Amino acid sequence: MKSSPNKSNEDAAKMAKSIQKPNQTKQQTKLITQGIQKGIELYKKQHKAKLREQDKIKKKANKNTSDSIEPTIIIKQPTIAWLLLAISWLGFSGYILSNTLLN
């Protein structure tokens, strides 16, 4: 939702005209328009900075939660691997024993 400088300039001009006094000169209205435009631009900069800061906080929180989950997965994987190895060796030795006993 980016707005061009012309959009903020148009918005500032509309606001300045809406609050214009009857005896106000064009130069005064122009100065008011410039002030409003600077205010809009400052607000947009502050809003972007606030959004960036919120994104940093979210990324940091997501990183912290993913870091805490990762070690438990690493611990469980070797246990499963050793268990599968033991089961396969038991099955292999059972197969060899059954073939030797049948012959």
The parent domain of residue 73 ranges over 5-102
| Tokens 């509309």 found at | 14
pLDDT digits (tens, 9 = 90+) for 11-22: 888 888 888 888
Q: What tokens does 75 get?
A: 């611990």
Q: How many CB atoms lie within 10 A of CB 85?
A: 10
The pLDDT of residue 8 is 79
pLDDT digits (tens, 9 = 90+) for 48-101: 999 999 999 998 888 877 665 555 555 566 788 888 899 999 999 888 888 888
| Tokens 């130069």 found at | 27
The pLDDT of residue 1 is 45
Domain count for the chain: 1
